[in-house]
């Protein structure tokens, strides 16, 4: 697959320089690799959404014990509780006023940018994908059309593909699908590929119709492929034989890809194919639902029903007694000959001991299955970790540590993804945002080049003035020294004394 994309430069020298068949084939092969996982995720979504009941127009009832939904609602707040807060510091503890000021500004801008893009909704989408399907994917873009801003998106699992590999560091390309209308494609690609977009496979998306959104325009998926080896970005779509666009990366990122490593749960060994946790206990949930339906079916039969001597057929009376569930107590007339002389009383009650024993056995079996599910899903560890305010501090810390063991990997995965999102967004901001935008978003002031030049000019003027003042002082000192030499009289001459006669 990687070789097909690497041949893109070679194809450009042939008769069809912008042929997209190689890239489309690579995307199809990647889609086939993830197809079993995608099919399993659709089944998981139907189970979580209770699709069968909704399709039949039925209301919720207890005949299906919705343990899967209940367990996910417990896991959600345990894995993700609040939006991430970016922290920007130097790699090492370097105390410098300028770097500290810049770090504070970038931290403020990141906080504003993440709030504007709705990072909480993105993280919740990643959390839900991690719990249900085992993989969540964010994507970061830079929008400079309506002002400078960073957009963080949560991608649907069908709108993201990457090169099949054993580990993320070996992935050579990633791709995301953006669903675009004809007008949007004409505005974006008419200058680079003319009217080629007209042959795209425009469809009315089922999910748009299903959830009643207002925009039902026909759209086609346009794949934006970032290829690390070629250092190129390709835009292709099914049905169009040429590339819609082909350019160098419009973002200069240290990781090259405009997305961090996806949030992964369990992975198939030596692959990047997720293994949803639901597959580990799917059989248990089916058995629990089956036992629940049988329990409630038998409970409907547990009613006080008795036979009294009168007229009528015995068989019809007994059949009516077993089927009728309208009243909590019912007395059905039967021929008097059906009562033996040894019968006590005037009423023969239908025995319910067998129903009660069967129901009790089913409840015990279901309880064991639920406990097994708790152990497999990790819910039991979270429940054991729930502390009491009256407990000692040591007991609370021990429970908290014990309850977080099973979900620690998922928490760390979300935390690492949030950190990588901040890193990519920070690179985009530092490289593309203007100084005015930075100061407006950070509510801080930084000296501009003009301000610095003014400060330098002021310092030069001060230095020149000081220099002139010092020169004047030095000249005054020289003049004063010369005046002192003129006023002072010359030293008197000494007369030599004659030598004494010996």
C-alpha span between 183 and 305 (Å, rounded): 71
What gap in Å lies between CA 34 and CA 263, rounded to an integer? 16
Best-predicted range by mean pLDDT (35-39, 328-332, 435-439) = 35-39
Model confidence pLDDT, tens digit, residues 196-235: 999 999 988 765 555 545 556 889 999 999 999 999 999 9
Domain that holds residue 180: 2-275+409-433
Whether residues 267 and 216 fall in one domain: yes
pLDDT of residue 424: 97
pLDDT of residue 178: 95
Q: What percent of the chain has pLDDT over 70?
A: 74
433, 448, 475 - which closes a domain: 433
pLDDT band for position 13 (cuts 50, 70, 90): very low
- State yes or no: pLDDT of 39 exceeds 90: yes
Query: Measuring CA to CA, how many Å separate 6 from each of 3, 192, 247, 292, 429?
Result: 5, 21, 15, 56, 31
Higher pLDDT, 174 or 492: 174
**Residue 288 in domain:** yes
Does 195 reside within a domain?
yes
What pLDDT was estimated at residue 393? 57
- The answer on 295 and 165 residing in a single domain is no
Confidence label for 22 from pLDDT (cuts 50, 70 and 90):
very high
Please indicate, yes or no, if residue 458 is contained in any of the structural domains.
no
**Residues 286, 364, 61: CA angle, nearest 5 degrees:** 50
Please report the pLDDT score of residue 326 as a whole number. Answer: 55
Asked whether residue 463 is assigned to any structural domain, the reply reads: no
Whether 419 and 384 share a structural domain: no
> Is 189 within a domain?
yes
According to the model, what pLDDT value does residue 387 have? 47
pLDDT value at residue 150: 96
For the chain, percent of residues with pLDDT exceeding 90: 47
Q: Averaged over 266-283, what is the pLDDT?
A: 94
Average model confidence (pLDDT) across the chain: 82
pLDDT tens per residue, range 314-355: 556 555 555 555 555 455 565 555 555 445 555 566 677 888
Bigger pLDDT: 8 or 462? 462
Q: What is the pLDDT of residue 301?
A: 74
pLDDT tens, residue by residue, 111-139: 999 999 999 999 999 999 999 999 999 99
Question: Region 399-428: what's the mean pLDDT?
Answer: 86
pLDDT at 474: 83
- Rounded to 10 degrees, the C-alpha dihedral 268/271/273/275 comes to 10
Q: Is pLDDT above 50 for 6? A: no
Whether residues 360 and 258 fall in one domain:
no
Work out the number of other CB atoms within 10 angstroms of the CB of residue 213: 10
Q: Does any domain span residue 488? A: no
Q: What is the mean pLDDT of residues 165-189?
A: 95
Q: How many structural domains comprise the chain?
A: 2
Tokens standing for residue 22: 């190689």
Give the C-alpha separation, 274 to 133, whole Å: 7
Contact 248, 256 (CB under 8 A): no
Give the residue-averaged pLDDT of 44-69.
Answer: 69
The reply to whether 253 and 129 lie within a common domain is yes
**Is 143 in the same domain as 196?**
yes
Is 86 in a helix, a strand, or coil? coil
In a domain, 258, yes or no: yes
Q: Work out the pLDDT band at 7, boundaries 50, 70, 90.
A: very low
| pLDDT over threshold 80, residue 16 | no
- Same domain for 49 and 156, yes or no, is yes
pLDDT, one tens digit per residue, over 362-405 is: 999 999 999 888 888 877 766 554 445 555 655 555 555 555 67
207 and 307 both lie in a single domain: no
Q: Could you please report the per-residue DSSP string of 22-80?
A: HHHHHHHHHHHHHHHHHHHHHHHHHHHHTHHHHHHTPPP-TTS--HHHHHHHHHHHHH-
Q: Residue 4: its pLDDT value, please?
A: 45
CB-count exposure of residue 489 (10 Å: 0-12, 13-18, 19+): exposed
Same domain, 170 and 187: yes
Instruction: Return d(Cα 265, Cα 273) in angstroms, integer.
Output: 10
Same domain, 48 and 23: yes
SS3 150: strand
What confidence tens digit (pLDDT) does each residue in 94-117 have? 778 888 888 999 999 999 999 999
pLDDT for the residue numbered 443: 87
Please give the order of strands across the beta sheet that includes 135-143.
149-155, 135-143, 263-264
Q: Write down the pLDDT at residue 1.
A: 45
Q: How much is the pLDDT for 8?
A: 40
Do 123 and 159 belong to one domain? yes
In a domain? residue 473? no
Q: Indicate if 152 and 238 belong to the same structural domain.
A: yes
């Amino acid at each position: 697959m990687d070789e097909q994309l690497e041949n893109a430069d070679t194809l450009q020298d042939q008769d069809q320089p912008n042929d997209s068949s190689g890239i489309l084939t690579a995307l199809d092969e990647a889609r086939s690799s993830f197809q079993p996982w995608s099919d399993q995720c659709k089944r998981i979504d139907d189970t979580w959404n209770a699709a069968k009941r909704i399709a039949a127009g039925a209301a919720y009832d207890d005949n299906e014990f919705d343990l899967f939904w209940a367990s996910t609602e417990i896991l959600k707040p345990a894995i993700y509780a609040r939006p991430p807060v970016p922290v920007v510091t130097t790699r090492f503890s370097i105390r410098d006023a300028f770097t500290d000021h810049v770090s504070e500004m970038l931290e403020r801008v990141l906080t504003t940018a993440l709030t504007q893009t709705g990072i909480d909704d993105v993280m919740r989408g990643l959390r839900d994908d991690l719990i249900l399907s085992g993989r969540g994917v964010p994507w970061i873009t830079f929008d400079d059309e309506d002002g400078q801003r960073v957009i963080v998106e949560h991608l649907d699992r069908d709108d993201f593909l990457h090169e099949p590999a054993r580990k993320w560091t070996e992935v050579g390309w990633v791709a995301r699908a953006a669903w675009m209308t004809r007008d949007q494609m004409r505005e974006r690609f008419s200058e680079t590929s003319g009217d080629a977009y007209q042959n795209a496979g425009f469809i009315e998306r089922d999910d748009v119709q299903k959830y009643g959104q207002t925009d039902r325009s026909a759209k086609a998926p346009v794949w934006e492929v970032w290829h690390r080896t070629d250092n190129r970005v390709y835009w292709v779509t099914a049905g169009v034989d040429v590339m819609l666009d082909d350019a160098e990366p419009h973002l200069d990122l240290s990781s090259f890809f405009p997305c961090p490593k996806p949030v992964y749960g369990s992975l198939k060994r030596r692959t990047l194919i997720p293994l949803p946790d639901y597959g580990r206990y799917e059989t248990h949930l089916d058995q629990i639902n089956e036992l629940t339906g049988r329990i409630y079916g038998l409970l409907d039969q547990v009613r006080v029903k008795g036979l009294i001597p009168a007229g009528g057929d015995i068989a019809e009376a007994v059949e009516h007694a077993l089927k009728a569930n309208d009243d909590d107590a019912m007395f059905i007339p039967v021929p008097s000959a059906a009562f033996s002389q040894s019968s006590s009383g005037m009423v023969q009650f239908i025995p319910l001991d067998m129903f009660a024993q069967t129901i009790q056995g089913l409840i015990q079996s279901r309880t064991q299955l639920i406990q097994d599910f708790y152990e497999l899903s990790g819910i039991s560890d979270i429940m054991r970790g729930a502390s009491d305010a009256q407990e000692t501090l040591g007991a609370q810390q021990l429970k908290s540590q014990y309850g977080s063991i099973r979900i620690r990997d998922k928490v760390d995965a979300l935390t690492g993804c949030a950190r990588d999102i901040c890193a990519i967004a920070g690179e985009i901001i530092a490289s593309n945002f203007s100084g005015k935008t930075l100061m407006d978003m950070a509510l801080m002031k930084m000296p501009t080049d003009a301000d610095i030049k003014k400060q330098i000019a002021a310092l030069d003027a001060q230095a020149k003035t000081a220099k002139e003042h010092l020169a004047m002082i030095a000249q005054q000192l020289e003049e004063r020294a010369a005046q002192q030499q003129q006023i002072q009289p010359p030293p008197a001459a000494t007369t030599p004394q004659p030598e004494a006669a010996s």
